[in-house]
């Protein structure tokens, strides 16, 4: 290996690696012992459904069809296999179709809506799902609906101004349950399980389980004549059993770990049943494990697997199937059973990762404000041919995740490896408010958004500087959406940051509150406070109104079709910095929404961001094919640190 200045290393990990080498396998489902899953077809720009047959992998969904839903903006599971064929939402027209070997037919209700969270009930020959019906000048109406697959009969079973998700029907078809929560809150802060009798296509005896008003519930499921669900009432999301006959409730999987999770996307699954066993995946401090328990609640074993992240658990054969990943493997479809052990079925990667290029993270705990602690993953620079000059330390990029009720993991992420393979260290911060560390840690951001998260990203950088892992004079921060808001708030404080990359960030909290969609309509009330009572807090925590406190150079990236963070947020932040001659640059992308999807966009973003850091820190990089960067004040003003 040869010495070469950090930040200047050539790398084979490119924007193409990020955008084209990922099948994104997800949502395994079972029908008549056959395994199905969804998978991205990158060269066709669609998501298809595959199945595992004795002959190998079969493609179920032919072009021009592709699955995808716009429900709740973020979407999620919107298909299910049945003995009658594949029921799915087609992305291009948002209609429901039934695909058989012979043909694909439209079975969508006559009234247009967005649909998701499909569940098949064999006893009723019907699919049940969530509907989202849009109305002028009002938030959408949420529904539980069904379609009979033999007659085509469509029924709306339940309507609400609030939210519903995860409909599940008992094996006999006599009962139905689902998650419910108010549009004034988020599902992880206060939700419940609704339960009703299902008779002749109508709901009777509709009730809600008696839970704590602040419970966050997750994934109702009928099994063994009872209703199971997750609740975080104990401080961790654990599995409970509700006896339908007498209404009693019992804790069944008592681990101080999170089984349930905030429901951002429809269709997430963290436990299942097989052969009178309960299988669950649960997380604590970044590590997810597979556990097996009895129906009486006895923990039988923790199943050792070579993965640190597990999700989308389903019963399969005499065991389970799930999506797994770790520091050097993209999400992979796997099965485990007592008879066969672990079987790898399908990787998202077209080619295995070359581990000599992959930086392995270290999960760190570090001190932060208020005598508290926060967490993050530290990635040192990694290259098979270069190392930094003797006695030198690498530049640092601190990353703040979006949400904010979300988390980074140690799963292979080429958005991180792009930087580490070029000689940067990366700190992926799970600031207070992140998930997977228990309810108390998640709720510690409530009422303090824009404060504690900002303190934590600053504390992460200072911790790495103090422990002499990184160069104190070459520290950058980047974030997207809520993470970009954290970034802007951090730049208002004394901090070690000398460069920042703001991806569709929030500058004006009043505008966010006024323009946000239904799913997050109650989010700011939890994170900051209700208006008008909290007007002073919204003013104090909006970076746009305090831009005079920001002196760090920033590069902005914004999609012009973003419905979550409108382009005006970025435009106004740029104008505020320009008034004070703070160095900045901005790129806007037509056709892009909340999160960049187009391969050309991703390529331009990475090249521009790399150029921006190199200008700030004095690195020599290849500037060929650099995109046109709007509003970039002359490069001389973006001075070296």
In the predicted model, what is the mean pLDDT of residues 261-284?
96
Mapping DSSP to helix (H, G, I), strand (E, B) and coil, where does residue 487 land?
Answer: helix
Q: What is the pLDDT of residue 640?
A: 32
Nearest 10 degrees: Cα torsion 341, 345, 351, 354: -20
- For 576, the enclosing helix (H) or strand (E) is helix 567-579
pLDDT given at position 631: 52
- Assigned token pair, 408: 């980074």
In this model, does residue 641 exceed pLDDT 60?
Answer: no
pLDDT in the model for residue 633? 42
pLDDT digits (tens, 9 = 90+) for 486-517: 999 999 999 999 999 999 999 999 999 998 88
Kindly report, residue by residue over 48-70, the tens digit of the pLDDT. 999 999 889 999 999 999 999 99
Rounded CA-CA distance 404/523 in Å is: 10
Q: Are 365 and 378 in contact (CB under 8 A)?
A: no
Cα 569 from chain centre: 23
Cα–Cα dist 609/617, whole Å: 12
Largest CA distance in the chain: 77
Contact 506, 565 (CB under 8 A): yes
* Residue among 357, 397, 392, 356 nearest 376 (CA): 397
Mean residue pLDDT across the chain: 93
Number of neighbouring beta carbons within 10 Å of residue 17: 18
Residue 260 has pLDDT above 70, yes or no: yes
Dump pLDDT digits (tens) for 583-636. Answer: 999 999 999 988 888 888 988 999 999 999 999 999 877 766 666 665 544 332
Q: Half-sphere exposure of 16 toward its Cβ, with a 13 Å CA cutoff?
A: 4
Q: Please give the average per-residue pLDDT across 553-581, as a whole number.
A: 93
Radius of gyration of the chain (CA): 25
Each residue of 241-269: b (16+ CB within 10 Å) or e? bbeeeeeebeebbebebbbbbbbbbbbbb
Rounded to whole angstroms, the Cα distance separating 172 from 494 reads: 62
Reported residue count of the chain is 641
- Checking if the pLDDT of 136 tops 90, the result is no
- Token reading at 529: 């406070």
Q: Is 119 within 8 Å of 165 (Cβ atoms)? A: no
pLDDT on residue 634: 37
Residue 635, pLDDT score: 36
User: For residue 637, what pLDDT band results from cuts at 50, 70 and 90?
Assistant: very low
Domains of the chain: 2-7+354-637 (3.40.50.1820), 62-268 (2.140.10.30)
In angstroms, rounded to a whole number, what is the distance separating the alpha carbons of residues 387 and 406? 34
Is residue 388 helix, strand or coil?
coil
The CA distance from 101 to 120, in Å, is 19
pLDDT digits (tens, 9 = 90+) for 140-155: 999 999 999 999 999 9
- DSSP per-residue letters across 88-130: EEBTTT--EEEE-SS-EEE---SS--EEEEEEEEGGGTEEEEE
pLDDT the model gives residue 626: 65
Is residue 148 classed as helix, strand or coil in its secondary structure? Answer: strand
Q: Quick one: the chain helix, strand, coil %, rounded to 5?
A: 20, 40, 45
If you write DSSP's letter for every residue of 500-517 in order, what string do you get? EEEES----HHHHHHH--
Report the percentage of the chain scoring pLDDT > 90.
Answer: 85
pLDDT at 638: 36
* Mean pLDDT computed over 154-174: 96
pLDDT at 254: 93
- Which of 567, 564, 566 has the alpha carbon at shortest distance from 520? 564
Q: What number is the average pLDDT over the span 12-20? A: 82
Query: At residue 343, does pLDDT exceed 50?
Result: yes
Tally of CA atoms within 13 A in the half-sphere of 444 that contains its CB? 24
Given pLDDT bands bounded at 50, 70 and 90, which one contains residue 639?
A: very low
């Amino acid at each position: 290996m040869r010495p070469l200045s950090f930040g200047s290393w050539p790398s084979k990990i490119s924007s193409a690696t990020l955008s084209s080498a990922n099948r994104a396998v997800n949502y395994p489902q079972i029908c008549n012992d056959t395994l199905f899953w969804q998978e991205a077809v990158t060269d066709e720009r669609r998501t298809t459904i595959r199945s595992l047959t004795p002959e190998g992998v079969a493609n179920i969904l032919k072009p021009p069809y592709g699955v995808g839903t716009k429900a709740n903006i973020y979407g999620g599971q919107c298909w299910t296999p049945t003995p009658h064929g594949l029921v799915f939402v087609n992305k291009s027209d948002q209609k429901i179709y039934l695909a058989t070997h012979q043909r694909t037919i439209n079975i969508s209700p006559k009234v247009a809506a967005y649909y998701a969270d499909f569940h098949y009930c064999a006893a009723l020959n019907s699919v049940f799902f969530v509907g989202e019906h849009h109305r002028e000048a009002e938030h959408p109406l949420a529904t539980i609906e069904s379609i009979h697959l033999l007659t085509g009969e469509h029924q709306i079973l339940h309507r609400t101004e609030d939210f519903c998700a995860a409909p599940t029907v008992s094996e006999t078809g006599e009962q139905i349950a689902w998650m419910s929560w108010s549009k004034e809150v988020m599902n992880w802060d206060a939700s419940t399980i609704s339960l009703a009798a299902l008779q002749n296509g109508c709901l009777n005896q509709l009730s809600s389980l008696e839970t704590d008003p602040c419970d966050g519930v997750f994934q109702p499921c009928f099994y063994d004549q009872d209703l199971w669900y997750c609740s975080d009432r104990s401080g961790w999301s654990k599995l409970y059993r509700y006896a339908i006959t007498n209404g009693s409730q019992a804790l069944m999987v008592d681990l101080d770990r999170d089984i349930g999770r905030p429901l951002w996307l429809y269709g997430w699954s963290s436990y299942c049943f097989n052969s009178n066993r309960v299988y669950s995946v649960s997380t604590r401090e970044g590590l997810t494990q597979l556990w097996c328990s009895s129906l009486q609640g006895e923990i039988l074993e923790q199943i050792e697997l070579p993965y640190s992240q597990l999700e989308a658990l389903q019963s399969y054969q005499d065991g389970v199937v799930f999506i797994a990943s770790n520091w050097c493997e993209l999400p992979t479809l796997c099965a485990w059973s007592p008879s066969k052990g672990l079987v790898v079925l399908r990787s998202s990667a077209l080619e295995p990762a070359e581990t000599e290029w992959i930086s392995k993270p270290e999960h760190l705990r570090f001190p932060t404000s208020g005598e508290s602690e926060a967490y993050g993953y530290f990635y040192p620079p990694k290259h098979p041919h270069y190392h930094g000059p003797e006695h030198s330390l690498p530049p640092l990029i601190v990353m703040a995740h979006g949400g904010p009720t979300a988390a980074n993991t140690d799963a292979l992420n080429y958005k991180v490896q792009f930087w580490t393979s070029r000689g940067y260290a990366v700190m992926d911060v799970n600031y207070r408010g992140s998930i997977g560390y228990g309810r108390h840690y998640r709720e510690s951001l409530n009422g303090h958004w824009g404060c504690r998260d900002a303190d934590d990203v600053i504390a992460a950088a200072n911790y790495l500087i103090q422990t002499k892992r990184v160069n104190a004079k070459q520290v950058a921060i980047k974030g997207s959406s809520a993470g970009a808001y954290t970034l802007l708030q951090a730049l208002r404080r004394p901090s070690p940051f000398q460069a920042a990359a703001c991806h569709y960030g929030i500058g004006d909290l009043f505008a966010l509150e006024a323009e946000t969609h239904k799913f997050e309509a109650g989010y700011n009330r939890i994170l900051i406070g209700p208006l008008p009572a909290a007007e002073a807090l919204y003013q104090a925590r909006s970076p746009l109104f305090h831009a005079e406190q920001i002196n760090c150079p920033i590069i902005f990236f914004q999609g012009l079709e973003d419905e979550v963070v409108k382009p005006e947020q970025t435009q106004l932040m740029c104008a505020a910095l320009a008034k004070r001659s703070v160095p900045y640059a901005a790129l806007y992308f037509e056709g892009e929404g909340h999160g960049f999807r187009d391969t050309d966009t991703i390529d331009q973003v990475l090249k521009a961001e790399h150029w921006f850091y190199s200008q700030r820190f004095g690195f020599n990089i290849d500037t060929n094919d650099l995109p046109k960067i709007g509003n970039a004040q002359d490069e001389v003003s973006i001075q070296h640190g």
